[in-house]
Structure 1
Amino acid sequence: MDDYINDQVIEEKQKRAMRRVKTETNRSVFISSGPEDSGRTLYRMVAVSFGMLCVLQVTLNISLRLVFNRRFKYSEERDQLQTSYNNLTEERDQLRTSYNNLTKERDRLQTERDFLSGRLTIHIEQTCPERWQKFESSFYFLSTETKTWNESREDCLERGADLVIINSDEEQTFLFNLKKRVFIGLTDSVNEGTWKWVDGTPLTKGYWYDPQPDNGGGYAEHGEEHCAEINKVHHHLEAWNDLSCDKKINFICEKVI
């Protein structure tokens, strides 16, 4: 666009110069009045024409210099853009290579993980103790005899485990589906109303059956209720009840793999 405008400017200046030459020539002819002035008139016409040609030459030189400078500037910008493009292309290729390498490494690690996971599953199945059930990353033992909460915990400890600690909805559902009324590893015997698991961590999410826990509901015959159970008569997610620790029921031990 700029080159087109410059060409128009040059062409316009040339036309103006030619008009001036014609005007001066006509003026010189008009002033001449006789044969004695013909030589002087011709000289004047040549001088004017030469002067106008010099003006045209200067104008042309300036115009060409402007065009050259502008084209040089465009060429320089084009080279800079080409360099930037080349750098970006090289960086893109490096990133693509890194991505491909990381993808291969990910696939290799995933294959290795699947292989080790399969071996671990086979090992667990082969070493799973009798009467224990596996769920996710733990083994669970469901007792066939009833004991108090303290006796239940002692039994679990002797088996290298402890009363179960429930960490998720899925685990709660799994235990409820065993269809037994069982003690779990939760008590507020140290501080009334402050329920803690057997590993000392505080209860953050409970599955109490409403309106439990009620510590016996004020009925003397129920006594103090400081231990938690899963009661199979309730809904699987809201099935906890507080119970006297001296009550004898079944229990569940958990051994984390």
Structure 2
Amino acid sequence: MEMDHTYGNIDLNLSATTGKKRFPSSPAQDVSEHTGHSVRERNPPHSENTLKFVLVALGLLLLCALVALCVLGVLYFNKGVSYESLSDQFTSTVESLSVQLHNATAAAEELKSQLDQVKENYENALSHVASLDETEKQYEVLKVKYHTAHEVFSACKECQKCGQCGDGWKRFGVKCYYFSTDTLNWTNSRDHCVEKGGHLVIITSEAEQIFVNSSGETHWIGLNDLETEGKWMWVNKQPLTETGVILWLKRPDKPDEPDNWKYEDPSGENCASLGNESGHTHSWFDSSCRKLKKFICEK
């Protein structure tokens, strides 16, 4: 019975395969047939993946190389353009500087020419100023001489009218002089001379100086610096420097006159006199205007 069951199965299997071509089976097929499960044929998976990876890497490398070539081309083009631009700018700058240098040189030469002309004009002006100074000095001398001649002429006309100087007056040349016997301060002496028709004496020559100091006594004369210290003026408003005669006392070992001594009068010495209390009537002294002295008038 058991044998019948076995042969029956064999017949069933043979009938299932009837009409199919049979080939020698591989061990795997035998196993599948034996086990009843199908086994798929496999290819090695790592061979296909490696090929794909290599192709992708080669593509990326080609792409990178193309990008690098493009970048190098752009950089080279920019470098060429930049170099040409810088070259043009340098050439333009050099040309501009050359033009400016030429203009500056021309301007410097023009300025030097103008400076030489200014120097020449300045030197001419200096010589002209020196000539003017000399002319001014000659004018001052002539003015003094004119004033002297005018005074002489006026005195002559007055003498022709009056014939004589008058009582108490002395003649010297064309002028008349009054020597006081009383003493007054300088201001009162000036006013007294005006009342007598004259003024305090104005000394314009050494001969006149010798005449007025013949008495050997100190007298007030018509010279003062009451308005401006150090600027001595005659009573007719003529500066001392214009008369041409200056006879201040000179001392070898002490200050010369006028010395504006303030020991006796804090306001100083602002009026002039012939000599001082010690004599020396051949020279002039500055003295306190408050002092009482004799005085000399002239007309």
TM-score range, shorter chain: 0.3 to 0.5
The structure, 1 or 2, with the larger RCO (C-alpha pairs under 8 Å, 6+ apart) is: 1
Structure having the higher Rg: 2
TM-score using structure 2 length? 0.41
